[in-house]
Amino acid sequence: MLEIPDGNWWDWDVVAWDGARFVIGSNYDLSYSHSLELVFTDPVYVQCPALFHDPVFREPTPEEERLVRRTGEPFPVLVAFEAECGCAPMTGLIAAGGLEIVTGPVLRYWRDDADMEPGWRRAPWVTPPASSPSP
């Protein structure tokens, strides 16, 4: 079963998703930053909402394992969870080739490099503000 570091991991959302990685981030409040990322490499099956709350990670059921089984072999990583999603509970299931758990502040807003603390990062969508034309 997935074991995440101790912390107040209430809010979760999708940080990045491309052919090679599926990344979900968490914090007690996602307004300005997140401090935990689950980085799934080589994702092959993803059942996960864009935003969810207070997940309870659990062992996958035999039915979930059968759902994502390929050529009779289980995937190296299969994560199942129950979470709140809006007004209704939901089930999440992610099958992937690997998983890395990354901790540390990831800012969701622009901050100049000079103001960044060591180890801080920016979320992938954060870009410098556009310079405004002079009057």
Q: pTM for the full model?
A: 0.90
Q: Is there a contact between 82 and 90 (Cβ–Cβ < 8 Å)?
A: yes
% of the chain with per-residue pLDDT over 70: 94
pLDDT, residue 74, reads 77
pLDDT, residue 118, reads 93
Structure tokens at 98: 């690997």
- The length of the chain is 135
H helices within the chain, ranges in order? 62-68
135 confidence band (pLDDT: 50, 70, 90)? low
Could you read off the pLDDT of 60-80 as tens digits, one per residue?
Answer: 999 999 888 865 677 899 999
Block residue for tokens 């002079």: 134
